[in-house]
């Protein structure tokens, strides 16, 4: 399906029981300024950009120096309560004309949040040039999410540029989103993942050549340096992706499913930051922290369920996201990872739920809450002492530290 529609192949091959309890993350085509609220107290965020742009390659991208609005991480002091990190991320990150990319850039700016946009590389490749894409184990030019219209490519470029300057991260969602059959990313080798990544980077680094657009500003970053993590289509194939990710020096991956609200570990030297199981109000099971997985459990794969159910489902989605936040905030302070798509499923209720969740978290006005990007979060992780991280990992889902944080992370702990 073009314009970022969800891959129908990504919905196949999943048992009813699995869908009922978790679902599988389908993806389609998705942010604002990181403010001082995102810094650790006592630190300063980055300033505005003043460096002169240095064009890279054909001028599709440019080196403009350090990214603005970046928090400066520091180590926790002995006995200090860890911040509550919340990471909102968007799969696909294409602006298809529904206004959702700029909407959530404004939401983020209004509430002091930074986000991660996992860009699908083919969203910068015109369909007329589809033969340039050679997906592993699939026909040349194939794409289960299709290609954007030229006007939507322009909007995507404009929003990506603005988002990065506002402090957000641009990661990757790779390209063709193949989730089923013999061509599925689940079966790709490390070498095939390398080919997919190289092509995704090429589509970003050569959009000017491929589109012929001459009146747009370059993306203000060197993507080879900017790209440090991603999320695979339908959360498949992480096992063979990780060796390639590690070889490329990636710092994290957010492709595994069924994670728990606990402090993360590394796999093959790469931070493993999975979507997480969150309480599902009114149900005896938990649901993966993504808009699509909530939809699966509400309207059984239909993106246009009965309108009379939308208000109830909207509130239920809010309760999933915010309930997951409260559970972590009031216990082990594990980071909360929420994944989304720029979609209008079931009347746009999941977009409303994300916006309401951001607002509720911001309205707490808590100095120990950080809505950050994945990159900013791993910056913080890498700044901590390993013994502190080990202690944090020792707390289970919903478990409060024995004796309180001052005792649990104290100098004598």
- pLDDT, one tens digit per residue, over 188-223 is 999 999 999 999 999 999 999 999 999 999 999 999
Q: Which residue is associated with the tokens 């490390």?
A: 190
Question: What DSSP string runs through 50-61?
Answer: -SPPEEETTTTE
Q: What is the pLDDT of residue 178?
A: 98
Q: State both tokens at 120.
A: 């699908």
Q: What is the pLDDT of residue 259?
A: 95
Question: What DSSP string runs through 352-370?
Answer: HHHHHHHHHHHHT--TTEE
Average confidence (pLDDT) over 154-161: 98
Q: 251-292 pLDDT, tens per residue?
A: 999 999 889 999 999 999 999 999 999 999 999 999 999 999
Q: 328-366 pLDDT, tens per residue?
A: 999 999 999 999 999 999 999 999 999 999 999 999 999
From 12-16, 33-37, 93-97, 285-289, the region with the lowest mean pLDDT: 12-16
State the Cα–Cα distance between residues 12 and 24, nearest whole angstrom: 9
Q: Which residue from 136, 156, 141 is spatially nearest to 207, judged by alpha carbons?
A: 156
**Residue 34 predicted with pLDDT over 90:** no
Cα-to-chain-centroid distance, residue 96: 18
Q: State both tokens at 15.
A: 């048992």
Residue 209 CB contacts under 8 Å (≥ 6 apart), including other chains: 58, 60
Q: Alpha carbon of 48 to those of 33, 63, 223: distances in Å?
A: 11, 15, 20
**CB contact at 8 A, 132 and 185:** no
Q: State both tokens at 292.
A: 């699509």
Report the run of H or E that residue 389 belongs to, with start and end: helix 386-393
Residue 389 CB contacts under 8 Å (≥ 6 apart), including other chains: 263, 381
Banded pLDDT at 413 (limits 50, 70, 90): low
Q: Which residue from 234, 268, 240 is spatially nearest to 118, judged by alpha carbons?
A: 234
At 371 the three-state DSSP class reads strand
| Separation of first and last alpha carbons in the chain | 55
Report the run of H or E that residue 152 belongs to, with start and end: helix 150-165
Q: Which residue from 133, 175, 148, 144 is spatially nearest to 9, judged by alpha carbons?
A: 144
Q: Which residue has the higher pLDDT, 36 or 376?
A: 376
Average confidence (pLDDT) over 140-166: 98
**Residue 402 predicted with pLDDT over 80:** yes
**Residue 323 predicted with pLDDT over 70:** yes
State the Cα–Cα distance between residues 152 and 48, nearest whole angstrom: 28
Q: What is the pLDDT of residue 51?
A: 58
From 2-11, 138-147, 330-339, the region with the lowest mean pLDDT: 2-11
Average confidence (pLDDT) over 395-401: 98
Q: What is the pLDDT of residue 412?
A: 75
At 372 the three-state DSSP class reads coil
Average confidence (pLDDT) over 74-87: 98
* Average pLDDT of every residue of the chain: 90
**Residue 86 predicted with pLDDT over 70:** yes
Q: Which domains does the chain have, with CATH numbers?
A: 9-42+84-391 (3.20.20.370)
Banded pLDDT at 301 (limits 50, 70, 90): confident
**Residue 17 predicted with pLDDT over 70:** no
Q: What is the pLDDT of residue 52?
A: 81
Q: Which residue is associated with the tokens 């001028």?
A: 59
Residue 382 CB contacts under 8 Å (≥ 6 apart), including other chains: 73, 251
Question: What DSSP string runs through 125-149?
Answer: S-GGGGGG---TTS-TT--TT----
**Residue 44 predicted with pLDDT over 50:** no
Q: Which residue from 210, 224, 192 is spatially nearest to 154, judged by alpha carbons?
A: 210
Q: Which residue has the higher pLDDT, 57 or 35?
A: 57
Q: What is the pLDDT of residue 258?
A: 81
**Residue 1 predicted with pLDDT over 50:** no
Banded pLDDT at 234 (limits 50, 70, 90): very high
Average confidence (pLDDT) over 279-307: 96
């Amino acid at each position: 399906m073009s314009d970022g529609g969800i891959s129908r192949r990504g919905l196949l091959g999943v048992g009813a029981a699995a869908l009922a309890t978790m679902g599988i993350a389908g993806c389609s085509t998705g942010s604002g300024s990181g403010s001082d609220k995102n810094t650790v107290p006592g630190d300063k965020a980055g300033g505005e950009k003043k460096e002169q742009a240095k064009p890279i390659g054909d001028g599709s991208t440019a080196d403009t120096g350090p990214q603005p609005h970046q928090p400066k991480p520091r180590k926790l002091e002995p006995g200090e309560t860890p911040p509550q990190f919340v990471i909102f991320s968007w799969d696909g990150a294409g602006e298809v004309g529904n206004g959702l990319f700029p909407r959530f850039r404004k939401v983020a700016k209004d509430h002091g949040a930074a986000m991660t946009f996992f860009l699908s590389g083919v969203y910068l490749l015109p369909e007329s040039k589809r033969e340039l894409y050679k997906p592993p184990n699939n026909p040349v030019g194939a794409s289960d999410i299709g290609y954007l219209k030229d006007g939507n490519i322009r909007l995507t470029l404009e929003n990506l540029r603005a988002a990065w300057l506002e402090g957000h991260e641009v990661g990757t969602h790779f390209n063709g989103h193949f989730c089923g059959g013999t061509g599925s990313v689940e079966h790709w080798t490390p070498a095939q993942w390398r080919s997919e990544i190289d092509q995704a980077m090429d589509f970003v680094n050569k959009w000017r050549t491929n589109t012929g657009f001459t009146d747009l500003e370059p993306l203000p970053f060197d993507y080879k340096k900017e790209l440090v993590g991603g999320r695979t289509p339908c959360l498949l194939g992480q096992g063979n992706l990780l060796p390639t990710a590690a070889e490329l020096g990636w710092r994290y991956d957010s492709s595994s499913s069924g994670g728990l609200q606990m402090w993360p570990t590394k796999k093959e030297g790469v931070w493993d930051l999975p979507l997480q199981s969150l309480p599902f109000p009114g149900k005896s099971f938990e649901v993966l922290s993504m808009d699509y997985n909530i939809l699966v459990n509400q309207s059984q794969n239909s993106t246009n369920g009965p309108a009379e159910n939308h208000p109830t489902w909207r509130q239920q989605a809010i309760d999933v996201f915010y309930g997951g936040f409260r559970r972590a905030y009031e216990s082990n302070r594990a980071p909360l990872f929420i994944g989304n798509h720029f979609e209008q499923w079931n009347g746009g209720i999941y977009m409303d739920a994300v916006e309401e969740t951001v607002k509720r978290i911001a309205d707490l006005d808590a100095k120990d809450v950080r809505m950050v990007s994945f990159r900013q979060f791993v910056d913080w992780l890498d700044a901590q002492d390993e013994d502190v991280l080990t202690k944090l990992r020792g707390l289970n889902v919903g478990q409060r530290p024995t004796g309180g944080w001052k005792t649990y992370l104290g100098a004598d702990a």
